[in-house]
A and B are shown apart, each in its own frame.
Chain A
Amino acid sequence: MAFNWFKKLKNGLSKSAAKVQKSITAVVGKKTLDQETLNELEDQLIMADLGLRSASQIVEKLKSQKFLIEKDTKEISESKVFNVVANEISKILQPCEKDLFKKKIDTPCVLLLSGVNGSGKTTTAGKISEKLRKNNKKVVIAACDTFRAAAVSQLETWAERTGSIFVKGDDNSDPAAVAYKSMELAIKEKADYLIIDTAGRLQNKSDLMQELSKTCRVLSKLNKNAPQEKVVVLDGTVGQNAHSQLKHFDEAIGITGIIVTKLDGTAKGGVIISLAEEFKKPIYAIGVGEKVEDLDVFKADEFSRAIMGID
């Protein structure tokens, strides 16, 4: 399993990773990591969306790092440099490695997916329910995106594919009411999980953010812990705005974890490294494709190594 997703992730990252490697190789052909090399490394990290601060912090650590000069080539081995960088990144991400399904306390465990428009919430809801189905869990899916055209049918298709119980409301009805209804059903059906897919919203729309916190409040009436998991779904191509997204969603509903999607493209999703530093939220899973099984556990070490293009 682990091998499988890592391969996929690497495949996804391969083109961009190859690029990183090439340009580092070119500058590492010298004996020491001089300023120019460090600058190049920093540039590469910036281009992976790590952001200025995280990139320069990582490079700063490399400054004091001593590298062995290889006897035969009289050069610093590039793979050693990459390993060190990957290790630095991994150290930052390690504390965020958490399994979404490990700490299930209540039945049903309510899992709410939030995020900006087009980040991949609905697809992620489908992928999660597939994962749960494979583990023989009983799942209820609630379509609380009552705003976007056909969002409900999109999720309904996923529910059918994964054999989940599906709850929907009328178009433009109150999403909180749909959520409440679905939780009542999930309790009655003794479902293991309730997945709530919410409408995409930009984090600076205060009214929409309030609607989201209302949905959570309403759910907590049926169980004060619900929703037990409040996940923000981040688009892997997102840049520094991810900070603002996480901050505002966290303020509105208290985010318990992150899922990063669309990492099968050219984007490297490096912003999660600075997010990890700033918010220390668990990263539950990554989306690496459009297929229903393309969602897997986040592994800091493998992610960091894949970003640097090393096995």
Chain B
Amino acid sequence: MFENLTEKLGNVFSSLKKRGALTEKHVDEALKEVRMALLEADVSLPVVKEFIDQVRKRAVGHEVLRSITPGQQVIKIVNDTLIDTLGSNNSPLEINHSPPAIILLVGLQGSGKTTTAGKLALHLKTKQRKKVMLASLDIYRPAAREQLRILGEQAEVMVLPESDGQSPENITKRALAASKVQAIDVLILDTAGRTTLDDIMMKEAKEVFSISKPSETILVADSLTGQDAVNTAKAFKEILDLSGVILTRTDGDARGGAALSMRSVTGCPIKFVGTSEKLDGLETFHPDRAAARILDMGDVVSLVEKAAETIAEEDAEKMMERLSKGSFDMNDMLKQIGQLKKLGGLSGVMSMLPGIGKLQKQMAANNFDDKVIAKQEAIIYSMTLKERKNVGLLNASRRKRIASGSGSSVHDVNRLVKQQQEMARMIKKVGKVGGIGGLKNIFSSPKENELSSSIDNNQMPTSIEEMKKLMGNMPNANNLFNRFGSAGLPGLGGKPSKKIK
């Protein structure tokens, strides 16, 4: 849909050959693109304006480092400013004073308060060894209290027993008393969702706040939020002394500009982000990753971590061994497909890669999606073990059998075989030119390096033409570390560039 910012700025500066300090004209030109990127990422307009001013001040007159282009220099400044604005890595919960410490969760309807309450409880219980109690003040939404009770049971923490007919204020008092009696360390109060225009409900929130005197008052906000993020944040900030923000649904494919809006308006740190529907899906906020996402440079770091989590190192090593011998049979292909699926399928991986817009379009045009992968898997499963090791066995009648066994056509089988052979040939070639040394590097050291294996995996099942196309269009995925690593861009965690070549 959109080019990523790096490419856009590259175009802006392509005419500019002379290096030196960034002039006002260059910066203004570049900031137009930055503004667009931020708005497309749903950063609220007033926040965008403020941010752009900040960047302009920093950028004008800034020396362009010799090793990089002016476009990259601007991106670095934008990225640095963005990370600065988004705040520091670690803003732990302030709950270590005399118990019970109270955490009050507020937000709009459907922002994810109740789920977050459950996640927080589990987090505090397992990671900080706190005795936690949950209490629901949501007497309006049907089954909201039951939902919290079930979550509490799942997290194995105490939940304040429900009693009908009590006002949220009274439930708060009861929760406070109960947590003192039970020697609770942390009491989490889950409030009803409210629109900020509802004066009665906002007054209620204020009441609960003054009764409970929470140590943490946290605004739970949906990362899919658009321009309204500023209004919501402002309204809650006005009536409550907010101390932090938790952003939910960051596992979606939204660029999450709400993070920047919320942070600038409230001035409060983003304490956690929600990363899945499951109870353990709560993670510390990483400003660098959020920045990369907002600027559409992809969330490569998350991809790396996910890859590291899901791809067993042993598997990778075994694969490496086989590859270094230059052999690549259907079993290897199957394994690669399996790994790709573990990473959330092609679309899952794609959503984390930078500059995906164009790429996805192209892939759609080539009819290449997760279905293709499933089909290829089915075809390989329909082969005998011998056939998988030695595709040479595949004569016409075997191919026919495989096609009917996998619900595909002989044509599909032929295509897969051709792909596998082309891949094998390529791997041999890499071995010959001594690329294996590099390959070995990639596969042997853990974590980051599996990124490259996973990226390669993506492309494995495509035909060689498609692969070339994909590679051609994905300079950022492979070059990102090179480019930014050398520029010391903190957005990517300063991954040294040598690892990926």
Contacts and interface: CB of A to CB of B under 8 A. Distances in A.
Top 4 A-B residue pairs of the complex, sorted by shortest distance between their CB atoms? A239-B226, A118-B110, A239-B42, A157-B142
Interface stretch (B10-18, B57-65, B248-256, B307-315): B248-256
Nearest to A234: B224
A158 B258 contact: no
Given A204-B252, A266-B235, 15 more contacts: A12-B197, A48-B227, A49-B227, A149-B118, A150-B143, A150-B149, A151-B147, A153-B143, A154-B142, A202-B253, A237-B108, A239-B42, A241-B226, A244-B253, A264-B195
Contacts of B414: none
Contact of A265 (B108, B252, B351): B108
A27 interface: no
Interface in A210-248: 235, 237-244
A15 interface: yes
13 contacts: A47-B44, A117-B249, A118-B111, A120-B110, A148-B115, A150-B150, A204-B347, A235-B224, A239-B258, A265-B195, A265-B228, A266-B231, A290-B140
A118 B277 CA distance: 11
B235 to A, nearest CB: 7
Nearest to A14: B197
Interface string B142-155: 11101101110010
Contacts of A51: 39-40
Nearest to A149: B150
A235 B45 contact: no
Indicate the size class of the contact surface on chain B.
35 or more
A217 B228 CA distance: 37
A119 interface: yes
A46 interface: yes
Contacts of B249: 116-118, 202
A117 B254 CA distance: 13
B196 interface: yes
Given A48-B227, A150-B146, A241-B42, A118 B222 contact: yes
Interface of B: 1, 36, 39-42, 44-45, 108-112, 115, 118, 140-144, 146-147, 149-151, 154, 195-197, 222, 224-228, 231-232, 235, 248-249, 251-255, 257-258, 277, 344-345, 347-348, 351, 370
Nearest to A158: B142
A241 B224 contact: yes
Interface centre among B140, B141, B227, B347 (most CB of A within 10 A): B227
Given A43-B45, A46-B39, A157-B143, A16 B254 contact: no
Interface in A239-288: 239-244, 262, 264-268, 270-271
Q: Is the interface of A mostly helix, strand, loop or mixed?
A: loop
A147 B196 contact: no
Interface centre among B146, B147, B228, B257 (most CB of A within 10 A): B228
A228 to B, nearest CB: 26
Contact of B143 (A16, A154, A271): A154
Contacts of A156: 143
Contact of A207 (B227, B231, B345): B345
A52 B227 CA distance: 12
Nearest to A150: B147
A235 B195 contact: no
Interface of A: 12, 15-16, 43, 46-49, 51-52, 116-120, 147-151, 153-158, 202-207, 235, 237-244, 262, 264-268, 270-271, 290
Interface centre among A47, A154, A155, A271 (most CB of B within 10 A): A47
A268 B111 CA distance: 17
A43 B230 CA distance: 14
Given A241-B224, A264-B195, A206 B252 contact: no
Contacts of A157: 142-143
Contacts of A117: 110, 112, 249, 277
A203 B350 CA distance: 13
A206 B345 contact: yes
A286 to B, nearest CB: 14
Contact of B226 (A43, A158, A202, A240): A240
Interface centre among B141, B226, B277, B345 (most CB of A within 10 A): B226
Nearest to B230: A47
A203 B143 contact: no
Nearest to B112: A118
A206 B143 contact: no
Given A202-B252, A262-B195, A264-B197, A240 B154 contact: no
Contacts of B144: 150, 154
A266 B45 contact: no
Nearest to A271: B226
Contacts of A158: 142
B141 A154 contact: yes
A202 to B, nearest CB: 4
B36 A52 contact: yes
A195 to B, nearest CB: 16
A204 B348 CA distance: 7
Contacts of B140: 290
B45 A265 contact: no
A61 B349 CA distance: 40
Nearest to B114: A149
Nearest to B46: A47
Contacts of B253: 202-204, 241, 244
Given A239-B225, A241-B253, A120 B147 contact: no
Contact of A204 (B42, B255, B257, B351): B351
A47 B45 contact: yes
Contacts of B142: 153-155, 157-158
Nearest to A43: B45
A271 B142 CA distance: 29
Nearest to A171: B150
Contacts of A271: 226
A116 B224 contact: yes
